[in-house]
Structure formats: C-alpha cells, structure tokens
C-alpha cells in the first residue's frame, strides 16, 4: 500500500514537471575537475563564455575579480580555487554561469556546462558522511540520474564562508 503511494507520487511529480514545464527540481549540470555538479536552474541568470577578468586586490583568492556584463559589474568566483582544486588554464569550454543571489549577480567559473536535468526528490540522497575531498563541504545532496551521480550544491555555500 505504502509503496503504491510513493509510486503514484512519483508519477504525479513527473507528470507535473512534464506538463507545466516547471523549473522546480531542475538543475544545471556542469563539470569542475572530474565531478559533475548541479545548481538549481531557477537562480541561473545566464551562461557566458569566459571573458577577461579585472582583478580586485586584497580579496580572497577564489574571488577572481569583476567583469563588465553589458554595463553591470559582476563579481566572479572560480569554483576550482573554491574547491581547492588545481588551477588550469581557461579554454574554449570554460564558462561563467551568472546567477542571481539576493538581487546581486555573481558569476561562477566552471570547466564545462552540460545540460539541464530534472531530478526528482525521490532520487536525491544525502552524501556519505566520509569527507574525503574539500569540495564535499559544499555538497549537501546527491542526485542520481540514469548514468551518473550529480553533486548538488547550494550557491549560498559557494559564495559565503561559514
């Protein structure tokens, strides 16, 4: 009985997402290092190619600087440095995901952007407690898709130190 219920719920959830084209539970999947990460699509403003960044002195190292986005000044953080990964040179695949956080636009440099994926609540689970990598600190949820596990991050954690 119980299982039937959850199945129904699942079906309903899927149907709602398909019909209403809602942006809830949809995630933008991108790659940093070897891992695939996902952030909520609702806060993503746009995705742009990497552009020259003006360095701002006396700021944390992951804060790469500011860019001019059609007249708006946008701060840029590099996820590789934020996750304490080895820095690599930016290439054609490097992208800046511009998200809107508390009314302010902030850009996130990632290695590569893939697609938007729907991940139902049922397919989400907390990460294993073992914290092997520093980037684990930012991952609060794992999302299971057909082929891969997506590390879902909350951008607030990315932007602000605890």
Partner 1 sequence: MDDLDRDAMLETFIHEMGILVDQLENVMLITNEMYDGNTINEIFRIMHTIKGSSSMMLFTSLTEITHATEDLFFFLRENNPENIDYPLITDIVLEVVDFIKIQLASLEEAKDLDMPYDELMEKIQNCLLDLKKENKINLEIDDNLKIENNSEIKNTKKINVSEIPRYRAIIYFQEGSEMENVRAFTVIHNLGTIATDISTIPENVLDEDSIWKIRTDGFKIEFNSDHDIEQVRNILLQSIYIKDLNLEQIFSYEEEYNNVFDVFVKFQEGCEMENIRAFTFISNLPKYVTVLSQEPENLLDENNARFIAENGFSVVLSTNISKEQLKEILMGTIYLDYLQINEKENNIYEDILNTYTEEDEIENKEEKSKSEDTSQKKDINLSLETEKIKKTTSHSINVNVTKLDQLLNLVGELVISEAMVTQNPELEGMELESFTKESRQLRKIIGEIQYTVMSMRMVPLGPTFFKMNRIVRDMCRQLKKDVNLKIIGDETEVDKNIIEHIADPLMHIIRNSIDHGIESPEERLSKNKPEQGTIILEAKNSGGDVLIIIKDDGAGFNKDKILKKAIANNLLSKPEDEYTEKEIFQFIFYPGFSTNETITSFSGRGVGMDVVNTNLEYVGGTVIADSIDGKGSSITLKIPLTLAIIDGMLIKIGDAKYTVPIMDIRRSLKISKKDIVFDPNGNEMVKIRGEVYNLIRLNTFFGLDIGYTDIEDGIVLMLENESQTVCLFADELVGEQQIVVKNIPKYIKKVHGLSGCTLLGNGDISLIINVAAFFDK
Q: Which residue has the tokens 């891969």?
A: 148
Q: For strand 149-153 and strand 44-49, is the pairing parallel, antiparallel, or unpaired?
A: unpaired
How many binding residues for partner 1 (CB under 8 A)?
20
Q: Which residue has the tokens 């003006």?
A: 54
126 binds partner 1 (CB under 8 A): no
Window 29-58: contact mask with partner 1 (x via CB under 8 A): -----------------------x-xxxxx
Using the minimum distance from each CB to partner 1, give the nearer residue, 99 or 151.
99
Closest-CA residue to 77 (of 91, 114, 101, 128): 101
Burial pattern 3-25, b for ≥16 Cβ within 10 A else e, equals eeeeeeeeeebeeebeeeeeeeb
128 binds partner 1 (CB under 8 A): no
Window 55-94: contact mask with partner 1 (x via CB under 8 A): xxxxx---x--xxx--x-xxx-------------------
Contacting residues toward partner 1, per CB under 8 A: 52, 54-59, 63, 66-68, 71, 73-75, 101, 104-106, 159
């Amino acid at each position: 009985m119980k299982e039937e219920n959850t199945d129904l719920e699942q079906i309903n959830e899927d149907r709602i997402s398909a019909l209403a084209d809602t942006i809830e539970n949809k995630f933008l999947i991108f790659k940093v290092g070897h891992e695939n990460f996902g952030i909520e699509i609702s806060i993503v403003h746009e995705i742009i190619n990497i552009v020259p960044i003006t360095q701002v002195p006396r700021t944390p190292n992951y804060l790469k600087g500011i860019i001019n986005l059609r007249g708006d000044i946008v701060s840029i953080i590099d996820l590789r440095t934020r996750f304490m990964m080895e820095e690599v040179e930016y290439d054609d695949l490097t992208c800046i995901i511009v998200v809107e956080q508390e009314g302010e636009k902030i850009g996130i440099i990632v290695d590569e952007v893939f697609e938007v994926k729907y991940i139902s609540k049922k397919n989400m689970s907390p990460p294993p407690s073992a914290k092997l990598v520093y980037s684990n600190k930012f991952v609060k949820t794992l999302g299971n898709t057909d082929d891969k596990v997506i590390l879902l991050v909350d951008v607030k954690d990315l932007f602000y130190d605890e």
